[in-house]
Chains A and B, each alone.
Chain A
Amino acid sequence: MILEALFLTLRLAILVSVILMAIGLPLGYWLSSSRWRGKFLVEAIVSLPIVLPPTVLGFYVLVAIGPLSPVGRWYHSMTGGSLAFTFRGLVLGSVIYSLPFAVQPIAAGFASVDRKLIDASATLGASRWRTFWRIVFPLGFPGVLTGFVLSFAHTLGEFGVVLMIGGNIPGATQTVSILIYDQVQSLNYALANRIALVLLLLCFALLTLLYGLRRRSKWVLWGWQ
């Protein structure tokens, strides 16, 4: 039971982090370089999940993907199933929930790259694509790494959104944090304690790794410094 929930949680966290990288890299680059006037609106929307109660976010996502909504109907016509109370629905909700934790560090990392280096790359004939992968990405990589680890860790520990969208279905939507809550509700404190400890250690190990890498960055990641 513990292992099942643990693997489900890890699978969710990895999947969500990878999807968030695919969204966060272009979005973060755009946020860091755009001079569009309406940019603050996008920034506000991206940051919304930080301040919004997870239950509110989860509720809206649940309504949005429910069988009565356009998204839900479209999904049903494509797959014959529903997103609500499924693992896929959980992935969708988690991506939205953890979006700022990926995008903000990535945008900050890219914004810290000296503008003149990007100009120099352009005058040397490089396309925007090449400039991104050769200059902006490697120099902004600390931000990308932070974004990845934070979105992973944040997804590991989420509770409210998962409960609203996924419910508590073992093997499908029961993550570690839901399992702990479930055990406490049924007064099974010993088991809850064991699972909580696993989650605590996992998160601690992850953050230790992140900050350790940053400290050793002179050799590991950023050899030019």
Chain B
Amino acid sequence: MSVAEIPLAARELMVQVQKRLSGFGKGDTSLQLDVQFKITAGFNILFGASGAGKTTVLDCIAGLQEPDSGRIVVGDTVFFDSEKGTELAARSRNIGYLFQTLALFPHMTVRQNIEYGLSSLGPGERDGRTNEIAESFAISGLFDRRPSHISGGERQRVALARALVTRPRALLLDEPLTALDALTKTRILDDLRRWNDRHAVPILYVTHQREEVYALGNRVLVLEAGKVIADGTPHEVLSRPQFESVAQLAGFENIVECSVVASHSEQGTMTCRIAGTEVSLEVPLSRVDTARPVRVGIRAGDILVATSLPQGLSARNVIAGSVVSLRRQDVTVIAEIDCGTKFVVHLTPGACDSLRLKVGTKLWLVVKTYSCHILQ
């Protein structure tokens, strides 16, 4: 059956899970996992800090942990339903699960690892599928090696191939690429994308790295303390002010909407104007649709403050403004600066004192081009 013939509903993953998590946090603070979402074919990111319950969600879907109550359905197959007492065994769910540790079988060769999930097939079909998947993940040359004798990136590919060769109905990826360098990571993701163009299964991709959210996300679900607190495209989720914890997770205290006014491809930069102001920002060149507004994220700790107009700077963005508020939190002073749009700046208390900052002080913000991150 080709992808086009499978009805969309058959590729849906519906999760509604309640489970008390023990062993997380300190003391008697046990966490109540209570999530409900539905995902369709393509990359869906489950984003959150460690201990938020991400892996537990995946384990419940795969059948490795049992929810206290809820319902899990893939397509028209009920995996779990606490009301009807349905629970399908993990081995019958046909879910591809890429573990954080990969869990390659150390005593088997690469070929044996990949073939492990194909024991119900005849030898002809088994070989065919194994060779096909190995080719598309560029690991055919490693067939006779053991997992301990191949590189980290190769191990990731083998683990991915092992999970995909069974043609799973859904794919669960638990921070699979955290340990890899950017180039290797991109290549593996490209291969995975190509595979899913053909098979179109729902992919639930767990990560706590914000770069991956931007690189992959059709959709991101933010999990915090066992609850989904935000759900949408990465930009929707990260720009909505009511989700302060989201912005914190994402690491960008400042997210401004800009329009691109000029591209300087020879310098590798673009000039953007912050919406509703005359303030322009020089940001790194990126392949975005320049006709549409872009969002630029700047971390509060990446912004310098000067009380007189700085001269002879390498930083390209110098923005005039004034202090709106100053608030001390632990060893950080959080300053709110109005430059036509408001910026949040983190300072040390010492810097704040020596600059004699107070509400109303006129100053200049200095931002390096590479401290401006295009989010779109």
Spell out A's residues near B (CB within 8 Å).
114, 116-117, 119-127, 130, 134-135, 138-139, 222-225
What is the CA–CA distance of A116 and B120 in the complex, to the nearest angstrom? 22
Contact segment of B86-94, B131-139, B309-317: B86-94
| A123 & B95 in contact (Cβ 8 Å cutoff) | yes
Q: Which residue of A lies closest to B62 (CB)?
A: A123
| B103 & A224 in contact (Cβ 8 Å cutoff) | no
Chain A residues near B119: list those with CB within 8 A: 125-126, 130
| A126 & B116 in contact (Cβ 8 Å cutoff) | yes
Shortest CB–CB separation between residue B97 and chain A, in angstroms?
Answer: 4
- 28 A/B residue pairs, CB under 8 Å, sorted by A: A116-B99, A116-B103, A119-B64, A119-B97, A119-B99, A120-B97, A120-B105, A122-B64, A122-B91, A123-B62, A123-B63, A123-B96, A123-B97, A123-B163, A124-B163, A124-B166, A125-B91, A125-B94, A125-B120, A126-B117, A127-B91, A130-B119, A134-B105, A134-B116, A135-B105, A139-B106, A139-B107, A224-B146
What is the CA–CA distance of A134 and B92 in the complex, to the nearest angstrom? 18
| B116 & A123 in contact (Cβ 8 Å cutoff) | no
Chain A residues near B267: list those with CB within 8 A: none
| A124 & B63 in contact (Cβ 8 Å cutoff) | no
- State which size class the interface on B falls in: 20 to 34
| B116 & A224 in contact (Cβ 8 Å cutoff) | no
Chain A residues near B166: list those with CB within 8 A: 124-125
| B148 & A225 in contact (Cβ 8 Å cutoff) | yes
Shortest CB–CB separation between residue B176 and chain A, in angstroms?
Answer: 13
Given A119-B99, A123-B96, output 10 extra A-B contacts at Cβ < 8 Å: A119-B90, A119-B97, A120-B103, A122-B91, A123-B90, A124-B162, A125-B94, A134-B105, A139-B106, A222-B107
Q: Which residue of A lies closest to B92 (CB)?
A: A125
Q: Which of A119, A124, A222 is in CB contact (< 8 Å) with B116?
A: A124
What is the CA–CA distance of A63 and B244 in the complex, to the nearest angstrom? 75
Q: Which of A116, A139, A224 is in CB contact (< 8 Å) with B148?
A: A224
B277 in contact (CB, < 8 A)? no
What is the CA–CA distance of A135 and B64 in the complex, to the nearest angstrom? 17
B354 in contact (CB, < 8 A)? no
Q: Which residue of B lies closest to A141 (CB)?
A: B107
B101 in contact (CB, < 8 A)? yes
What is the CA–CA distance of A124 and B146 in the complex, to the nearest angstrom? 19
Task: Please give me the 4 A-B residue pairs with the lowest Cβ-Cβ distance, nearest first.
Answer: A124-B117, A120-B103, A122-B90, A116-B103
Shortest CB–CB separation between residue B252 and chain A, in angstroms?
Answer: 34
User: Given that A120-B97, A224-B146 are known contacts, is A126 also in contact with B106, CB under 8 Å in the complex?
Assistant: no
Shortest CB–CB separation between residue A31 and chain B, in angstroms?
Answer: 21
What is the CA–CA distance of A119 and B174 in the complex, to the nearest angstrom? 14
User: Given that A124-B117, A125-B119, A126-B116 are known contacts, is A224 also in contact with B106, CB under 8 Å in the complex?
Assistant: yes
Chain B residues near A120: list those with CB within 8 A: 97, 99, 103, 105
Which residues of B from 162 to 221 have beta carbons under 8 Å from A? 162-163, 166
Interface string of B283-316 (1 = CB under 8 A from A): 0000000000000000000000000000000000
Chain B residues near A121: list those with CB within 8 A: 105, 116
| A125 & B105 in contact (Cβ 8 Å cutoff) | no
Chain A residues near B148: list those with CB within 8 A: 224-225
What is the CA–CA distance of A122 and B92 in the complex, to the nearest angstrom? 9
What is the CA–CA distance of A120 and B93 in the complex, to the nearest angstrom? 13
